[in-house]
């Protein structure tokens, strides 16, 4: 049953992983999706066989991207109902070996870009009584030595979620976050980790995941889709872990 017929959804980082699964989940529910990413080929794969998905190649950290993305959605579909701030990059490194340029890139992508996109889309979301979904990380709620900048940026996005929820509730806009744990996505490859390093990370993650498995992108996409549904109309300001119990384990 198409529960989001004619709704318009913007999904960033839609070329792979959680973003791809989320774009397809909304499309399957009847929504028109603007799928944003840096690389055209993965976006085309996301949209293949899904006529309600429109790929849009853009770097979300560029100064003109927020207005460009919003304008593309409005010009094509005339409205914006949901903004999913999913795009993110990970990076490692301990404080003693701080790489300031790498830290700035992470914060620009994981924290500032979602803020700027939400600002640019706000008028459209107010018009429709829409929803902002921020994709963060459950591990950010615990210590994450070796990836502290990544965890800090995502935890800051949790805080923005709660603050925006209170600010925007009187204007009819809900703001929520989904905090994935260990999910089967290419983020380790994008981070430049070797197969051996990725294996070690997975073993560490599994040892701290009570359900004993790595999640699927579709597990997270389901949560995002549900939080944007009419059934969740009284939910705002929440940060929902989708992590196999990692936060409480």
Average pLDDT of the segment spanning 99-121: 96
Distance CA 27, CA 244 (A): 26
Instruction: Give the residue, 204 or 13, on which the prediction is more confident.
Output: 13
Is 92 a residue of the active site? no
Confidence of residue 64 (pLDDT cuts 50, 70, 90): very high
User: What pLDDT score was predicted for residue 91?
Assistant: 83
pTM of the model: 0.93
Mean pLDDT, the chain, integer: 92
User: What pLDDT score was predicted for residue 78?
Assistant: 98
How far the first Cα of the chain sits from its last, in Å, is: 36
User: What pLDDT score was predicted for residue 199?
Assistant: 72
The number of beta carbons lying within 10 Å of the beta carbon of residue 128 is 15
User: What pLDDT score was predicted for residue 146?
Assistant: 79
What are the residue ranges of helices labelled H in 32-147?
40-47, 65-77, 100-107, 113-128
Q: Which of 92-96, 189-193, 226-230 has the lowest mean pLDDT?
A: 189-193
Give 164-200 pLDDT, tens digit per residue: 999 999 999 999 999 999 898 876 555 556 677 677 7
Average pLDDT of the segment spanning 32-39: 98
User: What pLDDT score was predicted for residue 229?
Assistant: 95
Q: Exactly one of 150, 153, 181, 221 is catalytic; name it.
A: 150
């Amino acid at each position: 049953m198409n529960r989001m017929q004619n709704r318009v959804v913007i999904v960033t980082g839609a070329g792979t992983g959680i973003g791809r699964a989320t774009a397809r989940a909304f499309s399957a529910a009847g929504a028109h999706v603007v799928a944003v990413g840096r690389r055209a080929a993965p976006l085309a794969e996301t949209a293949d066989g899904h006529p309600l998905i429109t790929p849009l190649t853009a770097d979300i950290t560029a100064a003109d991207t927020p207005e460009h993305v919003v304008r593309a959605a409005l010009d094509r579909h005339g409205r914006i109902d949901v903004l999913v701030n999913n795009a993110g990059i990970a990076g490692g490194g301990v404080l003693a070996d701080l790489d300031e340029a790498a830290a700035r890139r992470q914060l620009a992508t994981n924290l500032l870009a979602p803020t700027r996109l939400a600002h640019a889309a706000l008028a459209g979301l107010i018009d429709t009584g829409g929803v902002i979904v921020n994709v963060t990380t459950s591990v950010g709620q615990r210590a994450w030595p070796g990836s502290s900048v990544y965890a800090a940026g995502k935890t800051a996005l949790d805080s923005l979620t709660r603050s925006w929820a209170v600010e925007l509730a009187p204007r009819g806009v809900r703001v929520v976050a989904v905090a994935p744990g260990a999910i089967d996505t290419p983020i380790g490859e994008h981070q430049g980790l070797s197969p051996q390093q990725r294996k070690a990370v997975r073993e560490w993650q599994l040892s701290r995941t009570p359900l004993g498995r790595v999640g699927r992108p579709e597990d997270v996409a389901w949560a995002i889709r549900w939080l944007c549904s009419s059934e969740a109309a009284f939910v705002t300001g929440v940060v929902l872990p989708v992590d196999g119990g990692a936060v409480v384990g």
